Amino acid sequence: MPEPSLPLARDIKRLYWLASFLVFISLFVNLGKQPVYLEEPRRAMIAMEMEENGNFIVPMQLGEYYYAKPPLFNWVVWASSRLTGGYNGWALRLPTALSLIGASLLLFLLGRRYVNEEFAWLGALLYPTCAGLYFYFSLLGEIDLFYALLTLGSFAALFHFQQKGQYLLMFTVSYALAGLGTLAKGLPSLLFLGLSVLAWLWYTSEWKRLFSLAHLAGIFAFGAIVGGYMLAYHQYNDIGVYLRALFSESSERTAAEHGLLDFLKHLLTFPLETLKDLPPGLFLLVFALRPGLWSLLKRNPYLAFAGLILLVNYLPYWLSPGARQRYIYMLYPFIFLIGAYAYQHRDDAPGWQPRTFRILSGVVIALVGLGSLALNFVPGLDFLPYRLPLSLLSFTLLALAFFYYLRRPRWSLPLLIIAAAIGRLIFGLTVLPQRAHQSAAQKDIQVARDIAHIVDGSPLYIYADGRISFSTIFHLNLIRGRTLHRSCEMTPGAYYLYRQKELPEGYPVLMDIPYEDTLYVLTRLPLDGAD
């Protein structure tokens, strides 16, 4: 049940509405501006190839079976490209931004129903504004925030329907979302689902639900989604090979695949990397540094659920040296929820905690304000015609925020979030255009144009196990209107991307293409097949 609480003060509510508006806008400012990079081209290339083949069941990369990830996110990328007019940075990244917004809305609804209104606002705003997501991963057309939304939805269904006593919905919805998660990222969904269900049913003393028809229906929902896809996939390729590849990728993260030194290093650094991602919401955890924290959380079932799910799901990744922070983005909200709940019970906190939080908040607001002035002295931003007015406007807004921070201490938290949102807007209007202006990806685009100009409409392949920049291949696919494939055979009249050191004597070098430490060349086998 929701906790009894006084209505949220009107002035605080207005600040949260303002913060929400700024956060929402900031997620889309120049979202497609910087060229695609990292894993973004790969996701797009696979979607392109599925569309070209007319086969959305089997992921392909360079004309070969792709086993590392199931295809759900590639379907999402394809749908986004169809809705937004083609494969581009905006289309690739739109699902990420929408996933973050979807997770925020889910956290708001749960927080309002099971705690109170202010808690709902905090849950909805602290997750998207945590630094690791806000200034980095929300700008990538990658799978992880989409997968985090599916997994968070599965957690939410497990808790919400259990609280309502609707066990059929509890199992079928949570298991179905876990099934979709499996089609997005593979086996980790089984771990999240299994640990969460077992832990929560143990905590609520409802083990008997595991032996119910409702649970059987959940298993059926999961099996229908995952098994149905696997059956369809097996019509085109051996499903055993696919499953072995998925198991192999998951096992690479475990301690058994790493040495003792790697394990100890990961044990130390993994929680530090988590904390590094969390500001400004991290500052609320200062209120969680109190005796009897678990007793406090147990007062509310939602907070007990948050603490338990965080513990049982964080631990396996903490103990797995191959794990990365992006694997646990769906757990970040639970960290913030614990901090927000402790913050709401700050009346009995020792005096150093609110003082520390207030000092940290003021430092961040001030630093963002000073940083906005510093824009005028960054040489790489000289090309921006609006740099000065942007700097002056943002500094004025942040100076106003700092003024009210000094005058009204109870506004510290919403003003901190507003300052983070203004910082992200500044980032989107300066750093993202700068990356587009000077990014190394511009070189990849030019290389793709040069290759396409030479090849024109002739067949083009990458030879054997060669590999050039996926960014180059992505843009080459766009320019030529067809996907690049790999080939181990040389066909007269066709062009090939070939390792220079392996190029047979007499083959013409039409273009040099450096990639990492290897030099590739563009060559063509003469029509008569002669050397």
Per-residue pLDDT, averaged over 276-282, amounts to: 96
Indicate if the pLDDT at residue 438 is higher than 70.
Answer: yes
Closest CA to 246 of 312, 184, 154, 193: 184
CA dihedral (315, 319, 320, 325) in degrees, to 10, reads 50
The confidence band for 250, taking pLDDT boundaries of 50, 70 and 90, is low
* CA separation, residue 241 to residues 66, 99, 187, 236, 249 (Å): 11, 31, 15, 12, 12
CA 394 to the chain's CA centroid = 28
Cα 41 from Cα 77, distance rounded (Å):
11
pLDDT of res. 460? 97
Q: Which residue has the tokens 């913060």?
A: 19
On the question of pLDDT at 234 being above 60, the answer is yes
- Asked whether the predicted pLDDT for residue 338 surpasses 90, the reply is yes
- The DSSP string of 314-349 is HHHHHT-TT--GGGGGGGHHHHHHHHHHHHHTGGGS
Check residue 101 and give its pLDDT: 98
Average pLDDT over residues 6-13: 88
Q: Report, as an integer, the average pLDDT of 204-217.
A: 97
Spatial CA neighbour of 178 closest among 204, 158, 159: 158
Question: What would the two tokens of residue 326 be?
Answer: 């992006």
Q: What is the pTM of this model?
A: 0.95
Amino acid 271 reads P
Q: In the chain, what percentage of residues exceed pLDDT 70?
A: 96
Q: For position 7, what pLDDT does the model report?
A: 80
Does pLDDT of 284 surpass 70?
yes
Better-predicted residue by pLDDT, 397 or 457: 397
**pLDDT reading at 258 higher than 80:** no
Q: Please state the rounded mean pLDDT for residues 159-188.
A: 97
Query: Does the pLDDT of residue 215 top 70, yes or no?
Result: yes
Which pLDDT tens digit goes with each residue over 50-107?
A: 999 999 999 999 999 999 999 999 999 999 999 999 999 999 999 999 999 999 999 9
Which of 387, 386, 422 has its CA nearest to residue 402? 422
pLDDT at residue 246 in the model: 82
For 137-162, the pLDDT digits (tens) are 999 999 999 999 999 999 999 999 99
Going by C-alpha positions, the residue among 119, 210, 108 that lies closest to residue 156 is 108
Ranking 26-30, 66-70, 171-175, 192-196 by mean pLDDT, the lowest is 66-70
- pLDDT for 313 equals 98
Q: Which helix (H) or strand (E) holds 364?
A: helix 352-374
At 442 the pLDDT is 84
